[in-house]
Amino acid sequence: MEGEINKFIEVWISVFVCLSYCYAISQIVSKGLTRLLCILPILCVFLFLPLYIHSIHLGSISAFFISWLANFKLLLFAFGQGPLCSDPSISLGRFVAVGCFPIKIQQKIPPKPLIQIPSNTPNQTDSSPPIISHLNGHKNEKLLPPKPLPGKPKYTRDKTSPSPPKMSYLNGNSKDNPTFKKSKDGHVFPIKHAVMGVLLAIMIRVYDYSEHIHPKVILLLYCFHIYFLLEIILAVAAALARALLGVELEPQFNEPYLTTSLQDFWGRRWNLMVTNILRMTVYNPTRHAATRVIGRKWASLPAILTTFLVSGLMHELVFYSMGRSRPTWEVTWFFILHGGCLIVEIVSKTFFSSRWRLPWLISGPLTVGFVIVTSFWLFFPQFLLFKADERAFQEYAALGEFWKNVTRRILQVF
């Protein structure tokens, strides 16, 4: 295990060097085909670099972060789009973090004032009412207090009483401000992920008794295992970026177990960073090209199917990095199946009014059940082909021994 960790470190040092080169290219070469040709060798290196690692955990993580996300972000970067180009003054540290981790820096939108004061107006005293520009372009006029309605008492306030609280510019409630919500949720996420970590540890212990458990139950545990593991890995990556760069990050999952439809699951709840990257790199260009052929109304349908096809191929690449086994293409068919069902769902919503749609208590369990059943059929059997569960347990044991040796060496030093 120690050798695999050393390889993992070497791979990520190489990633840092390659992304530093891309950052320097952005300062010299303008966006377009020339920049794409300059970073094309980096795209090829990122495609094969994770194959240097044989660990099933470290290899899959590296393939997902480097071969998939980083390469897709660099493709957008070559043409001046995507998260790497969202901030023209981005530093090298943020460029590398955004380039190789599944994070997206949250854009801070300053609150809009209720009344905008022209810059050419004279200074005002606190006692004078604010000056606003007249809507039809005439000269500036003082804002007079509104006249009370008939039968309504005039509002008066004692000067000694405290001032009413300042309201948010959105709807009068400061707690509804998006910035407040993000910071509040940021304190909730560690508790949720701690619970997931405990449940994941319990499931790993349950696997020791797998010979006494029905195989379908084991596959169901694999569903939760992958979801918990992805949540924790992405949360750790986001927490590191937050601690090192001091930025607020957008969440990667949005409670997928509360989904109402396949469109809701894949578009707004599951692995949002991948969804956004696929939307910009595959969906939007395909839809733009299909619009010229079949029109704007139905152009989204081939774009959806193409996006799911690309997602399936990238999952095949991640699976190959994990097992080094020849692909059977069942994972690709899993995503093609979901893309086709999503198209049927969208077309059905187009032809049927909202009154014919199923309530959430029915559509939610049906959607989650469909995802789980199709995963049992096409997705999870691929893990069993290269004995991913056995190799994972071996790595857990080797990792425990590794940390024991590290702790022993530290104690010997002190």
Structure confidence by residue, pLDDT tens digits, 366-392: 999 999 899 888 888 887 777 776 777
Confidence of residue 146 (pLDDT cuts 50, 70, 90): low
Q: Is 376 exposed, middle or buried (0-12, 13-18, 19+ CB in 10 A)?
A: middle
Q: What is the CA radius of gyration of the chain?
A: 27
CA distance 56 to 81: 33
Of 274, 382, 380, nearest in space to 324 by CA = 382
Of 350, 254, 348, 266, nearest in space to 305 by CA = 266
What is the per-residue pLDDT for 182? Answer: 41
Strand 131-132 relative to strand 141-142: parallel, antiparallel, unpaired?
A: antiparallel
Assess contact for 262 and 341: CB atoms under 8 A: yes
What is the per-residue pLDDT for 19? Answer: 94
Q: 351 or 334: whose pLDDT is higher?
A: 334
Of 334, 320, 341, nearest in space to 385 by CA = 320
Q: 186 or 369: whose pLDDT is higher?
A: 369
Q: 395 or 318: whose pLDDT is higher?
A: 318
333-317-220 Cα angle (round to 5) = 60
Distances (CA, A) of 21 to 24, 37, 42, 60, 95: 5, 13, 9, 25, 11
Burial code of 289-318, b = ≥16 C-beta within 10 A, e = fewer? ebeeeeeeebbbbbbbbbbbbbbbebbbbb
Spell out the domain ranges in the chain.
1-105, 183-248, 252-379
CA distance 283 to 305: 9
Assess contact for 254 and 102: CB atoms under 8 A: no
CA distance 166 to 168: 7
Assess contact for 106 and 252: CB atoms under 8 A: no
Confidence of residue 173 (pLDDT cuts 50, 70, 90): very low
DSSP 8-class letter at 306: H
CA distance 218 to 381: 11
> Looking up tokens 């996300």, which residue turns up?
69
Contacts of residue 388, Cβ cutoff 8 Å, sequence gap at least 6: 56, 322, 323
Q: 322 or 149: whose pLDDT is higher?
A: 322
CA distance 315 to 31: 29
| Average pLDDT over every residue of 397-403 | 69
Statement: residue 198 has pLDDT above 90? no
Q: 349 or 104: whose pLDDT is higher?
A: 349
Q: Give tens-digit pLDDT for 78-125.
A: 998 888 887 778 888 888 888 887 776 655 555 444 444 444 444 444
Residue type, 397: A
CA distance 15 to 36: 18
Assess contact for 87 and 105: CB atoms under 8 A: yes
Average pLDDT, the chain: 77
Q: 319 or 220: whose pLDDT is higher?
A: 319
Statement: residue 170 has pLDDT above 90? no
Tokens describing residue 260: 């109402």
Distances (CA, A) of 398 to 8, 58, 386: 15, 13, 19
> What percentage of the chain reaches a pLDDT higher than 70?
74
